[in-house]
Amino acid sequence: MSTTQDQTTQTINLRKSRHVLRRMLRFGYPYRWHLLLALLLLIGSIVTDLAQPYLVKVAIDSYIDVPDPDVDGLIRLMLIYFVVVVAAFGLNYGQAIILRNTGRMIVYDLRMTVFRHLQTLSQSFFDRTAVGRIVTRVAHDTEAINQLFTDLLVHSARDLLMIIGIIVVMIQLNAKLALVSLAVVPLIAAVSYFFKNRLRDAYRISRAHLSHLNGFLAENLSGILTVQLFNRQEKQMAEFDRISSDYRQANIREVSLSSAFSHSLRFLTQFAVAFLLWYGGGEVIRGTVTFGVAYAFLNYVRQLFQPIQDLTGQLNVLQSALTSSERLVEVLDQKPEVVDPPKPVPLKNVRGEIRFENVWFAYNGEEWVLKDINFTVEPGQTVAFVGATGAGKSSVINLIGRFYDVQRGRITLDGIDIRAVAQADLRRHIAVVQQEVFLFAGDIASNVRLGNEEITDAQIMSALDAVGLGDYIRSLPRGIHTTLYEGGKTLSAGHRQLISFARAICFDPRILILDEATSNIDTETESLVQRALAKASEGRTTLIIAHRLSTIQHADLIIVLDKGRIVETGDHHSLLAQGGIYKQLYELSWAQESA
């Protein structure tokens, strides 16, 4: 029963491997002529490699080991030999350059395809996948595919042709010696079969540990400030030591198996040479084989077992490429959970009316985060959402931008179900200012315009002036072209937040969303932001998730959420008069700000 299950598993794995390889080989199709040219050059190099021992054999048997040596003939033959050697060099160099460049182009295409696909995936994929693992897929696994085309595909074809060519020449020279020379080939096949699955599993386990290691590194470096603030260095070191140790052990097993495999093949090769020396030498002494033939056979045997070793060594490359291919296909097969409709409805003259109708939403299964949510935001209104942590405020915002889809009910913009609208079209009318602002490596201007070259430097400065940051930016040596590093850590939290506000203003959205955008800035900066927001909100629908309730007293409507349900609605004064949850939250917020 166990044997049958193992055979079934192996069959499934084989089919999966073939499918994965076919997927990866498609990336080489645009460069098929480059690969074909490299293969033709390789065939030419095979001919020159096969010719060299044969020319030496002719020199020995026809011009040297004869009663009347022919020096002139030997010189002519050596000139031919020299031409063959030069041709071999040129052919090998040419194919190496072509393969290297073609491999780089294929990896470039694959990497761009993976990255482009990642851009289409829904937020839920990134919620459940560590950044370090994604980086490993894009950077490391794509690189392994280079070997699939350069080392595996073309070189394997060369090795096979070389083996066939050598066997044909050996049989033509002396069939009996050829059979003796090939006696160890069944042993090589048996050794290769023994190591095949073991190497594949070792590679897969090793790559999984490497991915885990990269994920931990990315997470730890991103949170290094928290690690240092809470003196977690020793704890993190211990965890990193454990993860590194697991990777080391997996890597040691991988290297040990690979080394045992290659040395087993080397031993069998040397055994074959020794056996040929014993048998072939005896034949030369008995006069049944010429010295030139024996010399040629020794060279051909060495040439024969080199491609055999290379082919079996390609198993290592194959396992590595298969493991990386499987992981890349796994990413490429990920489907976005939020997709555009086949025929999206265009948004024209957006007014900014937002309506939630009986909305139920869960990130996982039926663990409802929002339950039967109903509200309407009129065009140009300012609406604030308040509630304790986990009440569902951020989920409401995520749904408006359609980073997730609702499970029940619907959300409309100007009466149109947002699921009927293309995501890019929808988000073109929405700007979000988040609590944690992310600034890209680049300059201040590029972080405001985010690739939209229609936004001029003058518009950027106007937006920065609107949020009260213009004078500070002008004081910098290079102004808006001042270089920022990833995350904009050289700026204060308040300055980063103000740049984010300027970014939103430049894009001139119909809907402005503030996701606790003033919670990380000081009181002075907040006053600047409040004045800027009053101007920025004019004529726009503005949604605010509030941390400081003092900042939303001007809101036209305040919606209070508790455990995923709307429990209170009204303006600031009416909600205080109700004496409910909002009043409790307001008094708590006031006490914290006064402390």
pLDDT tens for residues 215-264? 788 778 777 767 776 677 888 888 889 999 999 999 898 888 888 887 88
Torsion of the alpha carbons at 274, 276, 282 and 283, rounded to the nearest 10:
-170
Alpha-carbon gap, residue 221 to 131, rounded angstroms:
12
CATH number 2.40.30.170 is the correct assignment for the domain at 22-332: no
DSSP 454: T
Min mean pLDDT across 88-92, 175-179, 403-407, 490-494 is at 490-494
Distance CA 458, CA 480 (A): 10
Sequence-separated (6 or more) residues with CB below 8 Å from residue 431: 503, 504, 505, 507, 509, 511, 512, 513
Q: What is the rounded CA–CA span in Å between residue 259 and residue 201?
A: 15
pLDDT of residue 507 exceeding 70 = yes
Element (H, E) at 380: none
Least confident of 114-118, 288-292, 515-519: 515-519
**What is the predicted pLDDT for the residue at 524?**
64
Could you tell me if 490 and 484 are in contact, meaning their C-beta atoms sit under 8 angstroms apart? yes
375 has a pLDDT exceeding 90: yes
What are the boundaries of each domain within the chain?
A: 22-332, 433-508
Q: pLDDT, tens digit, for every residue of 330-342?
A: 888 889 888 999 9
* Sequence-distant (≥ 6) Cβ neighbours of residue 180 within 8 angstroms: 275, 276, 279, 280
pLDDT of residue 249: 92
Could you give the C-alpha distances from 579 to 551, 576, 582, in angstroms and in order? 19, 5, 7
Pick from 34-43, 447-456, 515-524, 550-559: least confident: 515-524
Six-digit token string for 492: 């204060």
Q: Phi and psi (nearest 5°) for 66?
A: -135, 160
Q: For the residues of 551-573, what is the DSSP string, one character each?
A: GGTT-SEEEEEETTEEEEEE-HH
What is the C-alpha to C-alpha distance for residues 279 and 300, in angstroms, rounded to an integer? 15
Q: What is the CA radius of gyration of the chain?
A: 35
Please determine, for residue 595, whether its predicted confidence score (pLDDT) is greater than 70: no
What span, in angstroms and rounded, lies between the C-alpha atoms of 353 and 381? Answer: 9
Q: What percent of the chain stands above pLDDT 70?
A: 92
pLDDT per position as a tens digit, 415-433? 999 999 999 899 989 988 8
Q: What is the pLDDT of residue 425?
A: 92
Residue 20 pLDDT grade (very low, low, confident, very high; cuts 50, 70, 90): confident
> How does the average pLDDT of the chain come out, rounded?
84
pLDDT the model gives residue 12: 45
By three-state DSSP, how is residue 128 classified?
Answer: helix
* pLDDT for the residue 371: 94
Query: Is the predicted pLDDT of residue 204 greater than 90, yes or no?
Result: no
CB distance 328 to 154 below 8 Å:
no
CATH of domain 433-508: 3.40.50.300
Higher pLDDT, 374 or 27: 374
Residue 83 CB contacts under 8 Å (≥ 6 apart), including other chains: none
| Residue linked to tokens 């690690």 | 227
Angle in degrees, 0-180, between the axes of helices 71-120 and 32-58, rounded to the nearest 10: 160
Looking at residue 56, what is its pLDDT? 85
What pLDDT, on the 0 to 100 scale, is given for residue 79? Answer: 93
